Every structure is written in C-alpha cells, then in structure tokens.
C-alpha cells in the first residue's frame, strides 16, 4: 500500500516541476522508497549475501594533507600548493540502512570508496544513498547483474539503478559468479573497479570510484580472504582534473533539474547540465590559456594523494602482500607503478618491479616483504613522478615489536561487512 500513496503524493510535485519555470522548481527532497534489492526479479539468498551501505557525499578533498612533500623533499609547484583542496564526491560506507554511523576509513585507500568483497558463489547487495545534488550511480566491473543493477545510464531502457537522483536510494545486487573470480592459473583473488556512470566516465574525476575484491572459494579462508595472502593494498593511479574544464561537483542551485521520482527526460536534462562546460568566463579563453589551466589543474595522484601524502602503506617483514592496481582517466593515464626495494609477481605469471597500467586496467601484484626499510612506490612516467605521483611504503623488520610494527588489520573491506 506504500507505493500508491507515494505516487499520489509525487504526482502533483512532478506536474509542478515540469510545468513551472526553473526558478520555481522545488529543491530535491529525500525519497526513501528503494526500488532495488532483487536479482533477475528475485531476492538473493540471504545466507549467501553480503550487504553494504554506501552513500555518495560531498567532501572537501585535500591532495596534500601534510602540506609538503614528505618523501622526496621536492618543492611543491606553486599552482598545486596554492590549490590543495577541491570539492569532490566520495563513496562513504555506513554500518546500516539508517546511514548514521560511518565505517572507519582505511587511510591507505585515500579517496577510494569502501572495498566491497566476497567469494565466488555469493551476492553483494549494496544499498546506495545519493547525498549529492546530481544524479549518480554505482556501476560495477566484473560481476554479474541484471539491467536494474547495472548502474549505467544510456538508451534504450536504462535500469532502475541507472541514475539515482538526489536524496534517493537504490539497492544494487551483484552476483559473484564463476566468471567474476580468478581462473585457476590466476592469483587466489582479484579486484574490479566500481564507479558512477550516469553522464559519462568523467564521474570518476569527481572521486566516485572504489574496488570490489573477489576470492576463489577453493583458496579462501572461512571469512573469504585469500588464504595465501597476509595483507592487501589497493592503489589507483589517476590524474584528476581540477581545472574546472571537465565535470564538476554540482551545487544545489544548479542541480534543480534533478528531481526525485522524475522522468527520464528530466534526468537527461539534468545530466546534460552536469556535463555542460562551466559558465563562460569574462574574457575569451584562448587555446593556450585553456591548455595552461588544464596543466595547472592536473593532480597526478595515487588514491587521490600526491607528493608522498598517501599514508598507511605499511607491512611487516615476511608477509605475503597483495596489491590490487588500477588506473583510470584519459589518454595521459598510462602509468607504470614501480616499487623500490622489492620485486613483485604480476598476475601470478611474471616477475617484475614495474607494472603497466592503462585507463580501467585492473591487475594483481604479489610482493614478498623480504627487505625491511622505507621504500618508494612511484609511477615511472617521468612527468607523472615529477608532479607528485609517488608514495612511501614501509616494511618493518621482523624483530621489531609493539607500536613500530604494522597493525594487524591486514585485509581491505573486512570491517563493516555484514553477512545476512
Ligand atoms: Cu603515471
């Protein structure tokens, strides 16, 4: 009986919205009815489902919280140090559907959203709440979904979760089927990206990106973590564009076209507005000036941190450490992460200390922490490293105990996970 009542209440709002001038349009209001939660028309088996609660929220993001380069001691470029903070959106994890208690962030993930994880044979149910002023979604790579849980907006017939309007929520259901997990000759777990996908992939530039980890059940502990691994890290190599020339975070006033319960037409209108270039500047921007703006706005980051400001890459001597490596972005986003002091095995087949990444590449590299010390992890593309695409990782020696040893919380996304 709840739905007819909602429709009755929503119809006058919709009619007013599509017939009234822009200045008179109502502000987005919260919609708590969740049209998702099914997988090809059925509720997934609760015994095999891990439920996550994730909100997209505006944040002020600081690319350099320390205010300086703490690793290489390089002077910060003036255009960067004068503009450390930017408005971004982030996927933030909560403990339950009330969206009141946040799950503590893992500092090493930086701007990345929560790690969502499971084992082949399980389902992920992700209740998404849009606390921004623009339509957003969660689109997963690598898992199986029906049209409603695809989380991508395009024609024809976008699914119910294609564009979650401001204030609304939607529960995506993703199956971790056999094809989501590693092949027998791949490492025991693998990672996939998820990101918002309403207007275009530029929404990752807003900060809306995270990782899904899937473990092979034949090589998993009872809690679903890979049995042959002691510790995990996830790092995204991506150049964020803070020039204002691309997709930007919308404020409430400019997002008035996005109305909960709205038609596809109005959503498209809102989306077009989201994609529109910023307001015309007072003077004409030349091609050269535009190129300069873009160059000054580039933040060549690992997990949204630059110049050695990504914390928490710490491990203990002897540990088997799995790195999930990603890149995203545009034609400049070819990255070559390189570890000093150690060697890795890429994808279970190749020994190296440099891994090649292109936009939306997802790779696994396994590292044996056999060389204690404080070491550099950096992109080996010269320009990227010069502009801050590096971090420090630490291997604590075996004989160190107590506070100097890395904390025991070793696996990504384990806190706040609910199996029900
Ligand atoms: Cu790079």
3-state SS string for the chain: CHHHHHHHHHHHHHHHHHHCCHHHCCCCCCCCCCCCCCECCECCCHHHEEEEEEEEEEEEEECCCCCCCCCCCCCCCHHHHCCCEEEEEEEEEECCCCCCCECCCCHHHCCCCCCEEEECCCEEEEEEEECCCCCECCEECCCECCHHHCCCCCCCCCCCCCCECCCCEEEEEEECCHHHCCCCCCCCEEEEEEECCCCCHHHHHHCCEEEEEEECHHHECCCCCECCCCEEEEEEEEEEECCCCCCCCCCCHHHCCCCCCCCHHHHHHHHHHHHCCCCCCCCCCCHHHHHHHHHHCEEEEECCECCCCCCCCEEECCCEEEEEEEEECCCCCCECEEECCCCEEECCCEEECECCECCCCEEEEEEECCCCEEEEEEECCHHHHHCCCEEEEEEECCCCCHHHCCCCCCCCCCCCCEEC
User: Is 287 part of a structural domain of the chain?
Assistant: no
Q: How far is the CA of 234 from the centre of ligand 1 (A)?
A: 16
pLDDT of res. 126:
98
In a domain, 288, yes or no: no
The answer to whether the beta carbons of residues 303 and 108 sit under 8 Å apart is yes
In a domain, 284, yes or no: no
Give the range of the structural domain holding residue 351, as residue numbers without chain letter. 2-276+297-419
Q: Ligand 1: distance of its center to the CA of 331 in Å?
A: 11
Straight-line distance from the first to the last Cα atom of the chain, in angstroms, rounded to the nearest whole number? 27
- pLDDT, tens digit only, all 420 positions of the chain: 344 444 443 433 333 333 334 433 334 444 568 999 999 999 999 999 999 999 999 999 999 999 999 899 989 999 899 999 999 999 999 999 999 999 999 999 999 999 999 999 999 999 999 999 999 999 999 999 999 999 999 999 999 999 999 999 999 999 999 999 999 999 999 999 999 999 876 899 999 999 999 999 999 999 999 999 999 999 999 999 999 877 788 876 554 444 444 444 455 455 444 444 444 455 566 777 777 777 889 999 999 999 999 999 999 999 999 999 999 999 999 999 999 999 999 999 999 999 999 999 999 999 999 999 999 999 999 999 999 999 999 999 987 666 566 666 589 998 644 443
Give the Å distance between the CA of 159 and the centre of ligand 1. Answer: 35
pLDDT number for residue 416? 45
Number of domains present in the structure of the chain: 1
Note whether residue 28 is domain-resident: yes
What separation in Å is there between the alpha carbon of 362 and the centre of ligand 1? 15
Q: Residue 334 Cα, ligand 1 centroid: separation in angstroms?
A: 6
Note whether residue 282 is domain-resident: no
* pLDDT for the residue 202: 82
Domain assignment present for residue 292? The answer is no
- Report the separation in Å between the CA atom of 302 and the middle of ligand 1, taken as the mean of its atom positions: 9
CATH code for position 122: 2.60.40.420
Query: What does the pLDDT read at residue 27?
Result: 42
Residue 403: the pLDDT is 58
Query: What span, in angstroms and rounded, lies between the C-alpha atoms of 170 and 258?
Result: 16
For residue 63, give every residue at least 6 positions away whose Cβ sits within 8 Å of its Cβ, in sequence order, or none: 80, 84, 85, 86, 240, 299, 301, 304, 305, 306, 309
108: its two tokens: 């090493």
Question: Could you tell me the distance, in angstroms and rounded to a whole number, from the CA of residue 371 to the centre of ligand 1?
Answer: 25
365 CA distance to ligand 1 middle (Å): 17
Is 286 contained in some domain?
no
Ligand 1 center–CA 237 separation, angstroms: 7
């Amino acid at each position: 009986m709840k739905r007819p009542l909602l429709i009755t209440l929503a119809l006058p709002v919709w009619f007013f919205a599509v017939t009234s001038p822009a200045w008179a349009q109502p502000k987005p209001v919260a919609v708590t009815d969740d049209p998702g939660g099914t997988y090809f028309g059925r509720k997934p088996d609760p015994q095999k489902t891990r439920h996550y609660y994730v909100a997209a929220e505006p944040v002020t993001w600081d690319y350099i919280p320390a205010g300086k380069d703490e690793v290489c001691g390089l002077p910060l470029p003036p255009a960067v140090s004068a503009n450390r903070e930017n408005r971004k959106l982030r996927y933030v994890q909560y403990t339950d559907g009330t969206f009141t208690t946040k799950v503590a962030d893992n500092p090493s993930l930086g701007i990345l959203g929560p790690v969502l994880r499971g084992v082949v044979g399980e389902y992920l149910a992700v209740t998404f709440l849009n606390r921004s002023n623009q339509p957003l979604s969660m689109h997963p790579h690598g898992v199986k979904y029906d049209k409603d849980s695809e989380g991508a907006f395009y024609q024809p017939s976008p699914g119910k979760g294609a564009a979650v309007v401001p204030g609304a929520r939607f529960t995506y259901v993703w199956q971790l089927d056999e094809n989501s997990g590693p092949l027998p000759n791949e490492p025991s777990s693998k990672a996939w990206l998820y990101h918002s996908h309403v207007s275009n992939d530029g929404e990752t530039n807003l900060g809306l990106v995270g990782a899904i980890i899937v473990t092979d059940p034949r090589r998993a502990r009872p809690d679903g973590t890979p049995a042959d691994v002691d510790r995990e890290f996830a790092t995204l190599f991506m150049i964020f564009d803070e020039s204002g020339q691309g997709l930007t975070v919308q404020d409430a006033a400019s997002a008035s076209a996005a109305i909960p319960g709205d038609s596809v037409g109005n959503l498209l209108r809102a989306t077009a507005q989201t994609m529109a270039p910023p307001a015309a500047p007072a003077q004409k921007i030349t091609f050269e000036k535009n190129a300069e703006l873009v160059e000054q706005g580039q933040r060549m980051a690992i997990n949204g941190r630059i110049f050695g400001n990504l914390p928490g890459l710490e491990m203990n001597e002897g540990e088997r450490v799995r790195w999930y490596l990603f890149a995203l972005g545009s034609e400049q986003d070819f990255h070559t992460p390189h570890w000093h002091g150690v060697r890795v095995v890429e994808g279970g087949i190749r020994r190296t200390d440099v891994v090649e990444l292109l936009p939306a590449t997802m790779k696994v590299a396994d590292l044996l922490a056999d060389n204690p010390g404080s070491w550099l992890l950096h992109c080996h593309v010269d320009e990227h490293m010069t502009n801050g695409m590096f971090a420090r990782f630490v291997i604590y020696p075996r004989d160190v105990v107590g506070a100097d040893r890395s904390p025991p919380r070793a696996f990504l996304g384990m806190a706040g996970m609910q199996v029900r």
